[in-house]
Amino acid sequence: MSIKSITGLAVAMALFTSPTHAKTQIEWWHAMGGALGQKVNQIASDFNASQSEYEIKPVYKGTYAETMTSAVASFRAKNQPAIVQVFEVGTASMMGAKKAVFPVYQLMKKTNEPFDPNSYLSTVTGYYTTSDGKMMSLPFNSSTPVLYYNKALFKKAGIEQPPKTWKEMEAVSQKLLDSGVKCGFTTTWQSWTQIENFGARNNLPIATKNNGFDGVDTTFLFNKAPFVNHIQQMADWSKSGIFKYGGRQSDAMPLFYTQECAMVMESSAGFAGIKENMRGLDIGVSQLPYDDTLVQKPANTIIGGASLWVMSGRPDAEYNGVAKFFTYLSSPEVQADWHQATGYLPVTKAAYALTQQQGFYQQNPGADTAILQMTTSEPTTNSKGLRFGNFLQTREIVDEELEKVWSGKQTAQAALDNAVVRGNEQLRRFERTQQ
The predicted-structure confidence for 323-357, as pLDDT tens digits, reads as follows 999 999 999 999 999 999 999 999 999 999 999 99
Q: How far is CA 82 from CA 28, 69, 129, in A?
A: 6, 15, 20
Confidence tier at 376 by pLDDT (50, 70, 90): confident
What is the C-alpha separation between 430 and 250, in angstroms, rounded?
27
7 pLDDT exceeds 50?
Answer: no
Tell me which range, 63-67, 103-107, 382-386, is most confidently predicted by mean pLDDT.
103-107
Taking Cα atoms as reference points, which of 365, 368, 363 lies closest to residue 346?
Answer: 368
- 305 has a pLDDT exceeding 50: yes
Which of 121-130, 187-196, 295-304, 324-333 has the least mean pLDDT? 121-130
pLDDT band at 242 (very low <50, low <70, confident <90, very high): very high
pLDDT of 148: 98
CA 375/CA 429 separation, integer angstroms: 35
Overall average pLDDT of the 199-225 stretch? 97
What mean pLDDT comes out for the span 142-166? 97
pLDDT at 263: 98
Per-residue pLDDT band for 17 (boundaries 50, 70, 90) equals very low
Q: What is the percentage of the chain residues whose pLDDT exceeds 70? A: 95
Confidence band (pLDDT; 50, 70, 90) for 4?
very low
Burial class of residue 350 in the structure, from the number of CB atoms within 10 Å of its CB (0-12 exposed, 13-18 middle, 19+ buried) = middle
Please state, in angstroms and rounded to a whole number, the distance separating the CA atoms of residues 345 and 110.
28
pTM: 0.90
Q: Is the distance from CB of 430 to CB of 390 less than 8 angstroms?
A: yes
Per the CB < 8 A criterion, the answer to whether 420 and 428 are in contact is: no
Average pLDDT, the chain: 93
**Per-residue pLDDT at 94 exceeds 80:** yes
Coil, strand or helix at 376: coil
Mean pLDDT throughout 14-35?
A: 79
pLDDT at 16 over 60: no
Average pLDDT of the segment spanning 411-416: 98
Q: What does the pLDDT average to over 318-323?
A: 98
Q: What integer is the mean pLDDT of 365-383?
A: 91
| Mean pLDDT for the stretch of residues 76-91 | 95
pLDDT at position 417 is 98
Residue 20: pLDDT band by 50, 70, 90 thresholds?
A: low
- Pairing state of beta strands 183-187 and 261-267? parallel
What number is the average pLDDT over the span 6-33?
Answer: 69
